[in-house]
Amino acid sequence: MLRRNARLRKEFVYRKSLEGKERLLYEKKRKIRECLEEGKPIPTELKREEEQLRKEVELEDINTREYGNLEKGVNDDEYKNAPEAKILLTTSRDASSRLLQFCKELKLLFPTSSRINRGSQILPDLVELGKTSEFTDVVIVHEHRGEPDGLVVSHLPFGPTAYFGISDAVMRHDVKDANLPKVSEQFPHIICENFTSELGKRTANILRHLFPRPKEKSKRVVTFANSVDFISVRHHTYDMPKGPKSLHLNEIGPRFELRLYQLKLGTVDQDDADIEWSLRPFMRSAKKRRL
């Protein structure tokens, strides 16, 4: 099993490297094509490859000229053929009663999740359990002095793994003025607001795939609203007793804030996996960091 997993990881990394080469070749051909159409001189860095690139441009038709698949990152999209979400939910070791309560409420938030006690299980065992039981994601909740402070979302079988910080966690029964009926088992609609950058779209994609596809008549809504790199998570139900103009929202919790601080190209048990993005708050890169 370990050899098979290593081989599959190598194949996945190889496919990603091929996409990078195809993307680079496409950009070169695009520059050559633009220069030929507009009568501009060929860029100096492409002089040596000009003859070969000209031949490839001339042999292209409408279908091979399109870059739609590569633009979307098909080979690099770990969620392209992902099945319906099935989450393995657990906590850090020696979890406090408050963290266990928060984990139970997350199980209500994620309708297709299964919660297990962490016990003495190590990360490789958790990931292996998730793969053999056909889970799509492993979600681990961490705490500091009894307060939930971290959320790890690791997609199976190859990653990515997103590390979030949690702040201002409010349990269901602590939500002010909330009417708390039993949480429906309907699959919720997902709203991802203000995820405009490439990193934001990547983050929204990771969060969106933690939920199965809902039915149109579902009256549950989970909202991820980004504001200055902090993602507000809210859980509501709604009804319309007198038509669309009488929409009534009822927050049923839990509520909390997320902040992404690392994105890793691998599963949570891989210490040597490449880091796709990491938060460096003391660098002057505010525009690049925005979700």
Which CATH number fits the domain that encloses residue 139? Answer: 3.40.50.10480
- Name 250's bridge partners: 237
| Domain span at 20 | 1-69
Q: Which residues of 55-77 are buried (b: 16+ CB within 10 A; e: fewer)?
A: eeeeeeeeeeeeeeebeeeebbe
Going from the C-alpha of 52 to that of each of 24, 30, 55, the distances in angstroms are: 15, 13, 5
The pLDDT tens digits of the residues spanning 97-136 come to 999 999 999 999 999 999 999 988 999 999 999 999 999 9
pLDDT tens-digit readout, 237-276: 988 887 777 888 888 889 999 999 999 988 999 888 888 8
pLDDT < 50 stretches in the chain:
67-75
In the chain, the number of structural domains is 2
- Mark whether 119 and 260 lie in a shared domain: yes
**So what's the pLDDT on residue 231?**
97
Same-domain pairing of 248 and 125: yes
pTM: 0.76
Task: Clarify whether residues 147 and 21 are in a common domain.
Answer: no
Q: Let me know whether 14 and 111 are in one domain.
A: no
In a domain, 74, yes or no: no
- pLDDT at position 173 is 85
* Judgement on whether residues 99 and 62 belong to the same structural domain of the protein: no
User: 25, exposed or middle or buried, with CB in 10 Å at 0-12, 13-18, 19+?
Assistant: middle
159 and 265, same domain (yes or no) = yes
In a domain, 77, yes or no: no
Domain co-membership, 200 together with 111: yes
